Each structure stands twice: as C-alpha cells, then as structure tokens.
Amino acid sequence: MTTKHRTRFWLYMATAMILANALPASAIDEATALAASAPDAVAAATIMAGAEENLPHGESAQPVRRYRSEVERVWFETEGGTAARGARAKVVAMSMGMEDVDSAARALVAEGGTPDEALANAKLAARLAPNLPIARAGLARELWRQGSYGEAAEQAVAGVGAIFRNFEAAAWLFGSLLVMIAVVLTVAPLVFIVSVAVSVYARASHDLGDLFTKAMPSFSRAALLGALLLIPLALGEGIMGLMLALFGLAFLYGDARHRIALTLAVVLLVVGLYPVAYTASTVLIALDSDPVAAATLAVVQGVESERDIALLEEASETEFLAEHILAVRERRQGHVETAIERYAALVESHPRNAEVLTNYANLLFSNGDDKDAVEYYERSAALIDSPRLMFNLSQANARLFKIEEFEAALRSAQAIDADAVAELSRVGDAEFVADLAFPLTTLGTRLLTTARANRMSNVAIDGLMPGWLGARWMNLAGSFALIAIGAIMLRGRFDRASSCTRCGKRICGRCDGTVWNSETCNPCYHLFHRPETTDATLRVTRLSELQKRDSRLGHVMTIASLLVPGAAGLFARRPDLAFSGILFCGFAAVFLGWHDGIVPDPLAVGNAGALAFITAGSLSAIAYLVVVGRGLMIRRSL
C-alpha cells in the first residue's frame, strides 16, 4: 500500500467510525455505498457494515471477517459511552502489543461536535494514541479554543515530540526536513557565489581588457569576460560549470574574508547536493522501496489490503519478517489457535527472538498453559529487559501461586519502568498480559537499507551539472579546489584593479601611474590626508559632493540591505554576514513556505508538523533580521 493510498484509507476509516457512532443503520448503508466507489474503500465498507445497527437482534459480532482486529470489534461493540469504549479498546490494544489505537484516535479527532464534545473526544484520542502527533495536535487545538492556553501549548509541544515516536510521522518529518535543507544548501551557496562575482565583475573586466588594449571600451571588456565565463556552460557542464567560473572570479578578486566564506559555501554546496539530497530521497521512498516491509508496516498499522496479505503469505516461506507479522495479525484478529501454530513455528526457527518468545508465552498463558508460559517468559527475560515481559511473568507466577517469584518479577518490572508497570496494573485483571510491540526499528532499518540501494537519481545534479562535473561528488569538489588553488597562484602575478571606498573611482596602477593603496584613489588621498596640497575652495566643493553621494548611496544600500538577502553583509564588507544572511533567509523561506511538508501528511502528523516548521522558520527569520541589522550597523561605522 503506497503512502497516498494509506492516507486515503485513514480518511475512509475515520469517516466510517464517525458514521458508526452517529448515524442509523440506513444512513450507514448509504454511506457504505458511496465509500465503496472510492479506490481503497473496501476496508471502510467492511468496518461500516460491521456496525451494531446492521446485526439481527440478539446476534453477537464476530472478530472474523467483520472487523480488522479485536480492537475494532471492542470499539464498536462495547456498550456505554465513548469513554468506556475507548478504555476497553486501549486495554485490548495493550494486550496485543499496540502502543496506540490509531484508527479510533483519528476518528475522534475528526468527529468534532459541540465544543465540550470536541474537547472530550480530543482528550480521549490523546489517551488512546499518546504517540500519534495528530491526536496531540487536535487536543491542543480544542484546549486553545476553550481558552486553556497553557495546556494547549503543553500539548502542542508534546505533539511535536510525538513525531519522533511515530514511524510514519518521523519519516514524513525527516524526509521533508532533509529536502528543505538540501534545497537551501544548494541554492544559498550559488546565490552567494553569484553575489560576490557580481561585486567584482567590473574590476575583473577592466583587468581583462588591459591584456589586449587599454583603449577597449568598458562594454567590450564586460562582454569579453562574460564570454569567457560561459565557456564551461557551452562545453556541456550546465549551470554548475558557470558557477565554477564565477567562483574562480570571486576567489581571485576577493580578500581573505571572501575566500573563507566562499570555501565554506562550496563545502555546504557539495554536502547539500550529495549526502543530504541522497539521504532525503532515501527517506522519502523508504515506505515504498521494499514491498514485503511495506506490507508488514501496513499490517502493523491495521491498514493492510488483500494484496499485502497475499504478498506476505508468499514471502513467509523464506522471510522471517513476513512469517512474524502474519502471526501478529492472527493474534490481533482473535484467531488464537492459528496464532499459536504460527508462533510455535517461529519459536522453533528463531528460539532467541524475545518478541516471539514473549508473545507465544502470552498465548499459552491465555490458553491456561501456565507452566509452559513461565518457561518461555524466563527464556525471553534472559535476552532483554522489558517491563511488559516481567509484568507478564509476574502474572503467570501469581496464577501458579508462586508468591516469591511473583514479587521478584514485579519488582524487576518496576525497576525497569515503574510508570509502564503502573499502567499495566491499572487494568486490574489477573488474566491480563501484554504482548511486546512489533520491532519497528528493525523494520525501519530494512526499509532504509532497501531504499538506499534503489534511491532515485538526484534531480538537482541532473539539472545543474549534466556533464562530467555531476558524475561523482569528487569531480565537483576537486574542480572547486583546483580553481581555488589556481586563483591563489594568480593573485600575485598581476596588478588587480580596485575601487576607491570614498568616491567609487576605479584604482588601477596601469592606468593611474601613482597608486597610494587599493582603497583610496589619488585625488581622495590628497583631499583627506594631504589637504594642504589642495585648493580650499575646490576642497570644500568636493567634500560637499562626496557627502551628498554618501547620503544618496546610504539610502540605496539600506533599502537593498532590507530587500536583497546578503546585501547588508556585502555592503559592510563582511562576506561572512552576507552568506549567513542568505542561509537564514533561505531556511526561513522553505520552512514557512512548505510548513505543511514536502509530501502529503499520512494523517499522522496534523498541525504538529506545521507547528514545528513554522517555529523553525520564525527562528530563522529572526536570525536573518539580526544579521541584516548587524550589517547595517557595521556599514554606518565605516
């Protein structure tokens, strides 16, 4: 089941549960007919058809065929209000190794109702699925509407934290985040390289023209330099070839600070184009990269299709993963005998798998085979430390009247995680044991490994450098390094033109003859450093003109600094601030512009993901404004 189909399924699931709670049987039948016309509505129609209203009077619901799992059966059939149904469903879910009752929680979040009903449903959803970000976000929204701003903020933060505990939410977050980072690390260095190259372009074109004739017009010099810079592009190296030429120009004419900032920009560019972009593509295609693992995840989440089951049945002959999840599915559907058979085969083939041993022991305990259950619990306890496992062992020892062993096992469980044991103990049932959760870490590792082997081609690399530069990362990095070394070697071999910082006039030793330094032209040197050599009247007039120029340029630079990322740093002669400003502006733009993520939310994240990205974008925007302010302050002090 693809990510798109999984999202669509959850929409139908939530709709089905809401209708089952709120509508009579006739209305449910009509909704079923409508839902059945959609691509993935078979599951929704099955659930809706299993509502109590459709049963003949006195007939009890059965877990087979009518519901996807025992949890769904309990949710629909438990008498009483929503709270009672939710509490019972949570207990059954814990007994089957399910941390969250996702389907019920999603339905409750989407149900709405009056403000009080919506708040009650949101609170129940958060209890049913504490690791589901959309449930936490829904509770935060309802608390905010009720005016409980402190609690709403607490739940919003908890929703962001829950993203890291939910497999699909984490994949969505990291996939989107890595794409955003890759975009910024690719675009920001290129923008910075272009900015520095543009700032030195006039000086470089002047020097280039002098190699041919000092009489060459300025526009001809600029055109000649532009033609030379376009040679790599003409040779088929794409935009990156042009950037390589601009980098060499900027590195040759920039000062030490420029060279350091340019080097950092190139490093981040290579990192963004290769490891970050490839990791992003790996995460984004992970859920669809391995059909068996994807089908396994669908079963874990309770959204499997007939195709998924057929695939797992075929793979179970050779793959432990498929064999294991099919046993879990039988257990969750209430097929105890079939589950025992499957787990017995798993125990024989994998005698040191703690999840298999524990869950098999739970089935034996439920069947009354207490001694055998204790044996498998103890074998599992030798492999892992788990509060659930030790709690189960204490339950089995209690039923065998082994008081000392019961107390020892319970103490061990509390020493591992007292809160988890307290939650299990609150069930208050001597027959209650809890399965260990399916190992999603192993499943995630397999998905990422397969995705890494089958990852997509890098669209950015194909577009920016279709030639030799894009073949390997070493080609790109090595080319930048060679250009930098060549620029350093050329710096002392010819006189480079510069600009006067006071009047903007070009300073060139070949043209002017006498040059005092690279920042002050000859007239300004006499005007400011040797005023006795100048005419007083002309000096006053010249100072007035320069003051007007500074005022006019100051306004232009201030506006440009506020509107153009990086301009404030360049005007302040601080390329480090310029590059930082471009980076922060880029992060603010992508985080705020794509706050809903790069790919659709699989109905797991909700507003929690948007909150995370908006927060990151706001912090980036604040950092950008700080950099701009710092640049403006430095420029005014020059």
pLDDT over 70, % of the chain:
88
Return d(Cα 67, Cα 64) in angstroms, integer: 6
At residue 578, the pLDDT reads: 96
Maximum C-alpha span of the chain: 114
Return d(Cα 293, Cα 627) in angstroms, integer: 47
CA of 437: how far to CAs of 287, 309, 324, 359, in Å?
Answer: 19, 20, 12, 9
Average pLDDT, the chain: 85
Residues paired with residue 499 on neighbouring β-strands, in sequence order = 506
Q: Does 38 score more than 60 pLDDT?
A: no
Q: What are phi and psi of 337, to 5 degrees?
A: -65, -45
Complete domains list, the chain, with CATH: 3-168 (1.25.40), 291-449 (1.25.40.10), 497-534 (no CATH), 543-638 (no CATH)
Q: Does 604 score more than 60 pLDDT?
A: yes
At residue 46, the pLDDT reads: 40
Q: Does 347 score more than 50 pLDDT?
A: yes
Higher pLDDT, 333 or 284: 333
CB atoms within 10 A of CB 401: 8
Q: Does 37 score more than 70 pLDDT?
A: no
Instruction: Say if CB 68 and CB 46 are below 8 A apart.
Output: yes
Q: What are phi and psi of 301, to 5 degrees?
A: -85, -5
At residue 603, the pLDDT reads: 81
**Confidence (pTM):** 0.79
Higher pLDDT, 5 or 636: 636
Looking at 157-166, 286-295, 314-323, which range is the least confident one? Answer: 286-295
At residue 389, the pLDDT reads: 96
Return d(Cα 137, Cα 272) in angstroms, integer: 32
Higher pLDDT, 44 or 600: 600
Return d(Cα 597, Cα 605) in angstroms, integer: 10
Q: Name the band, by pLDDT with cuts 50, 70 and 90, for residue 444.
A: confident
CB-neighbour burial class of residue 599 (10 A; exposed 0-12, middle 13-18, buried 19+)? middle
Q: Does 61 score more than 60 pLDDT?
A: no
Q: What are phi and psi of 499, to 5 degrees?
A: -130, 145
Q: Does 30 score more than 60 pLDDT?
A: no
Q: Mean pLDDT throughout 366-391?
A: 94
pLDDT digits (tens, 9 = 90+) for 184-221: 999 999 999 999 999 999 889 988 888 888 888 889 99
The alpha carbon dihedral of 340, 345, 349, 351 has a sign of: positive
Q: Name the band, by pLDDT with cuts 50, 70 and 90, for residue 457.
A: low
